[in-house]
Copies of this chain bind each other. A is one copy, B any other.
């Protein structure tokens, strides 16, 4: 089993990667356009973030006309797993139950639902 240690993504990079996933593949322009209006940043900034994501091994690109088309270079599932487990590690010492509880609490679940979740979690 290959360890495949990619350098961690920064918050800004994470968001950009998500937008690429969303488009399946994307040019700088497409990511730029997909940015939520609450977070407008210069076109070149997006280009830089995409380039850095490629350096880190999360993306690759091919050329189409004069534009770069970026595509995922790592399995989305894996990236997500890593990101979440890092968070759980730092914030809860590795125990995912508090995270589930938190989510549960903020989505109208009953105590019973939570208990059930905890049970399930215990089973590995």
Contacts and interface: CB of A to CB of B under 8 A. Distances in A.
A96 B84 CA distance: 12
Interface of A: 8, 11, 14-15, 18, 22, 36, 80-81, 83-84, 86-87, 89-93, 96, 98-100, 102-104, 106-109, 113, 116-117, 120-121, 123-124
Contacts of A116: 113
A88 to B, nearest CB: 9
A53 B120 CA distance: 35
A90 to B, nearest CB: 4
A80 B91 contact: yes
Given A87-B87, A90-B11, A92-B18, A100 B103 contact: yes
Contact of A108 (B100, B113, B120): B120
A9 B13 CA distance: 17
A22 B95 CA distance: 13
20 contacts: A11-B90, A18-B90, A18-B91, A22-B93, A36-B93, A80-B102, A81-B106, A83-B91, A84-B91, A84-B99, A87-B87, A96-B106, A99-B103, A100-B100, A100-B103, A107-B117, A107-B120, A107-B124, A108-B120, A108-B123
